[in-house]
Amino acid sequence: MRIDLFATQTGSKLAKRFAGLNTVLHQSPLPKTVIELVSLRASQLNGCGFCLDMHVKEAIAAGEDPMRLHLVAGWRETTVFTEAEQAALAFAEEGTRGVSVSDDTWENLRKHFDDEETAALVCLIGLINAANRMAVITHQKGGSYQVGAMAHFES
């Protein structure tokens, strides 16, 4: 790793803010499964090993089926995701790729998610992309994440 952001005063303060924002997202009406699937898909697209490791382990600890997690990268070619999850994954992909989200994708998303859930999804995509970029820039590697490790930043 190039630098341990969490070991710096500035990085630690930012991690606390990120953890607080993550808490807000988990308190939103957005289903926890959708939060982890969207986080996982954005992390795949951004090549962020640290976040992939974290979100897979956190999702499994929360009761998610590991087989579904294995299929996120090819979600369009599976039968294991609900229509709402598919809409969220399409939205996450377009939002992560940095291009405008198409009207079709937006309209499909809105069929499944109300204003509160949609607001949470927009914020989630922005936050996971920021976290991915910081981890990729600093060369944080995946593989050693322990479930709940980010929780100490929430206090």
Q: Tokens for 101?
A: 């989200």
Query: What is the predicted pLDDT for the residue at 77?
Result: 98
For 71-126, what is each residue's pLDDT tens digit? 999 999 999 999 999 999 999 999 999 878 999 999 999 999 999 999 999 999 99
∠ Cα 108 65 142 (to 5°) = 95
> Closest Cα to residue 122, out of 35, 51, 15, 41?
35
Average confidence (pLDDT) over 49-77: 95
Work out the angle at residue 21's Cα, subtended by the Cα atoms of residues 19 and 27, and round it to the nearest 5 degrees.
Answer: 105
Q: Which residue has the tokens 């859930």?
A: 117
Q: Which two tokens stand for residue 60?
A: 């499994």
pTM: 0.91
Tens of pLDDT along 131-154? Answer: 999 999 999 899 988 898 776 555
The 3-state DSSP class for residue 91 equals: helix
* Amino acid identity, position 92: A
- The rounded distance, in Å, linking the Cα atoms of 87 and 110 is 9
- The region of weakest confidence among 3-17, 33-47, 80-94 is 3-17
